[in-house]
Chains A and B, each alone.
Chain A
Amino acid sequence: MDLNYSAEELAFRDEVRGWLAASLPAGLKDRGHYTKDELLAWHRILASQGWVAPAWPREWGGTGWNLVQRYLFEEELGYAGGPPLVPFGLAMCAPVLLRFGTEAQKKRFLPRIYHGEDFWCQGYSEPGSGSDLASLKTKAVRKNDHYVVTGQKTWTTLAHYADWIFCLVRTDPTVEKRQEGISFLLVDMKSPGVSVRPLILMDGAHEVNEVFFDDVEVPAENRVHEEGKGWTVAKYLLGYERMNTGRIGESKRQLAKLKELSKNKRNDVRFRDRLSRLEIELIALEVTNLRFLDRMRRTGQPPGADVSMLKIKGTEIQQGLTELAMECSDPLAGDENSLALQKRYLSMRKTTIYAGSNEIQRNIIAKMTLGL
């Protein structure tokens, strides 16, 4: 056991760090919200370097890096403070296509995802189906060579930017086990009958939307995996999603900024100790994440359900950091900087709710890891 990075690993990290420092435009750093063009600008810079999808197989543009290198890259990318790489295409739709898609689907969609030509969003939650996702009601009725989709999705992040949406839809309402009547469809957002309505969150930002489907025709060739097997696809994807939610590099950057921000509170021992505990939580999360990667490397097994704890701890830390940052501002302030700190606290409350609420993550650990 040696928790120090090897000389090769450090050299790799330095190379990545150096390239990021030189390549990330200053105007794109440390902003809470980004336009579609800004998100895609950074995506395309990374794509032209060949680094936008390290985890993909090499033939589709993956880097062939090992797990530690991929982790280091992700951490450095987060720490650099640029626009987030929107996961819906790169880290969600693509792994699904790679695992379940036909050759034609892979050829059609993967290169466009890689080069940032299509912007994707995720059609999972519905007004009546949040944590209980399998109760979803958006229906897709087969008619000849296409499906007719009717229903509503909600909390759809960046749907107002999206060219495509991947959706879970009900293709068979008659099955007894409701998980079995669900299919996974790729829908062109320009299709007639698709409409998007903004949902403004408590920080005033427009990030999520409602998406309505009104007799939308979707070619049958846009179904991924067999009809009625959408739940298998969704479960595969959820495992992927959880691996990506520790956000350690990003939190390290927020921590460094918070230390800077709280300089004048240096003699406030209560604040100092809360900050220290949070920093230690982050160190522990980093080592835990590395332990899980190391286990994957040794056993060749995919991550177990206990990686849910990375999501739980990672989001608690993100929230803790924004809460302390907010406390560095005057509660009655009206200037832009103070309000930005305060609104970031508001915004980050979403993290323990999205991508499977932290309570659902605890259910998963209780059932899958502890056998309860």
Chain B
Amino acid sequence: MNFDYSEEQQLLADSVRRFLDREYDFEARKKIVSGRGWSEQVWAKLAELGLTGLPLPAEHGGFGGGAVDLMGVMEAFGEALVVEPFLPTVMAARLVARAGSEAQKRALLPAVAEGRLRLAFAASPKGNVVGAPAAGKLVVREADALFLVDAAEVKMQPYRTLDNMLAAEIDASGLKSERLSGDTGILVEEAVDFATALACAEAVGVMKSACDATLEYLKTRKQFGVPIGTFQALQHRIVDMFISCEQARSMACLACSKVDSSVDRAERARAVSAAKIKVSDAARHVSQESVQLHGGMGMSEELKVSHSFRRLTVLARQFGDADHHLERFATL
């Protein structure tokens, strides 16, 4: 039992944070969002930092990392509200690494690690897929099979999600494609659990940033001649926000740790669903309270907290909302 990040994990999270502080502040992010929806320079830097290769197998240019290795990174992404299609790429790459042929892995994984290729996963040939417009290849599930398709051949209607992530409504039906091998149900469930654990870690980062911004606001905003943080009604509410965030952090730790260590499918699934339920509840609580405690300013698009609200609203429901995971938790 230990909760330490290893020295490498801590160094990596620190350098990602430094990079984001320097080049991915709120204004820089705004430009990316109003432009293409992701940034080639940022992506190149993520690759240079080793992030795109981190979860890939060592024999294909990666570092063989797991969910715990990415946890600190995902938290940092959450704090900065990063919109780059990192999670879709990592999740689809995991499927290729587990179900691809040697040739497929050789063709795709080193390119992902080097930052030359982005991927995305589509749960069905038609549907809404985050990251698809930035991807070179898609991993598509069709019934009991997984296929690799060229993104260029897929019909796409690009758009932005509520939280400004680049996505597309795709139609990949009837395309020439390569098949991946293995039991699709097991593979996809494992990859979704992996991505869900990482989304939990990301949500914890967003919540931390929302809590910190709200605390700062309570200390500086004055009404009736005093900082509003002197009012007990507000103090107790922000304390509850911090408690929600800490409880969610604990569950994100548990989910990432179990995704990496569980040999038993049920143990992993139970931890991930429990985490997603707690994180979804906490995300709703923290986001709603952070806007409320900011008063009118919380509604303004000018403030980061409103964008944290949008991100948390989506993250609370992405990869299954609390109700979905309550249903699953009950069967485990």
- List residues of A whose CB falls within 8 A of some B CB: 1-6, 9, 68, 272-273, 276-277, 279-281, 283-285, 287-288, 290-291, 294-295, 298, 306, 309, 312-313, 359, 362-363, 365-366, 369-372
Contact = CB atoms under 8 A, between A and B. Distances in A.
B34 interface: no
Contacts of A295: 3
Given A1-B71, A280-B251, A366-B238, A272 B330 contact: yes
A2 B219 contact: no
A68 B1 contact: yes
A2 B1 contact: yes
Closest 5 CB pairs of A and B: A287-B250, A366-B235, A3-B257, A284-B247, A294-B3
B3 A290 contact: yes
Contact of B251 (A287, A306, A309): A287
B250 A291 contact: yes
B41 interface: no
A294 B247 contact: no
Contact of B1 (A5, A309, A362): A5
Given A285-B250, A365-B243, 8 more contacts: A4-B261, A68-B1, A276-B329, A281-B247, A281-B278, A362-B235, A363-B232, A366-B239
B1 A284 contact: no
A288 B204 CA distance: 14
B253 interface: yes
A273 B327 CA distance: 8
B43 to A, nearest CB: 27
B267 to A, nearest CB: 10
19 contacts: A1-B3, A1-B256, A1-B257, A2-B2, A276-B277, A276-B330, A277-B281, A279-B274, A283-B254, A284-B248, A287-B253, A290-B3, A294-B1, A313-B247, A363-B232, A365-B243, A366-B236, A370-B239, A371-B219
Main secondary structure of the interface of B (DSSP, over half): helix
Name, among B1, B238, B248, B258, the residue most crowded by chain A CB atoms within 10 Å (CB to CB).
B1
Given A276-B277, A290-B3, A294-B3, A3 B239 contact: no
Interface in B1-53: 1-6, 9
Nearest to A266: B330
B278 A280 contact: yes
Given A294-B3, A363-B235, A273 B253 contact: no
B203 interface: no
A280 B248 CA distance: 10
Contacts of B242: 306, 309, 365, 369-370
B326 interface: yes
Contacts of A365: 239, 242-243
Given A290-B3, A362-B235, A372-B235, A3 B253 contact: yes
Nearest to A275: B330
Interface of B: 1-6, 9, 68, 71, 215, 218-219, 229-230, 232, 235-236, 238-240, 242-243, 246-251, 253-254, 256-258, 261, 274, 277-278, 281, 323, 326, 329-330
A284 B278 contact: yes
Nearest to B229: A372
Given A272-B330, A372-B235, A284 B251 contact: yes
B68 A1 contact: yes
Nearest to A359: B236
B179 to A, nearest CB: 36
Nearest to A308: B239
Contacts of A370: 215, 235, 238-239, 242
Given A276-B330, A363-B232, A2 B257 contact: yes
Contacts of A4: 1, 257, 261
Contacts of B243: 309, 312-313, 365
B65 to A, nearest CB: 12
A215 B4 CA distance: 56
B312 to A, nearest CB: 18
A283 B235 contact: no
A354 B198 CA distance: 39
Contact of B4 (A283, A298, A369): A298
A50 B251 CA distance: 35
A58 B4 CA distance: 28
B236 A3 contact: no
A277 B254 contact: no
Contact of A9 (B1, B71, B281): B1
A96 to B, nearest CB: 28
Contacts of B329: 276, 280
Contacts of A279: 274
Name, among B5, B6, B247, B330, the residue most crowded by chain A CB atoms within 10 Å (CB to CB).
B247
A370 B214 CA distance: 11
Contact of B247 (A9, A285, A369): A285
Contact of A284 (B250, B258, B261): B250
A1 B258 contact: no
Given A309-B243, A366-B236, A273 B251 contact: no
B9 to A, nearest CB: 8
B140 to A, nearest CB: 33
Nearest to A68: B1
Contacts of B251: 280, 283-284, 287
A318 B330 CA distance: 21
A306 B1 CA distance: 21
Contacts of B215: 370, 372
A371 B220 CA distance: 12
Contacts of B249: 291
Contacts of A291: 3, 249-250, 253
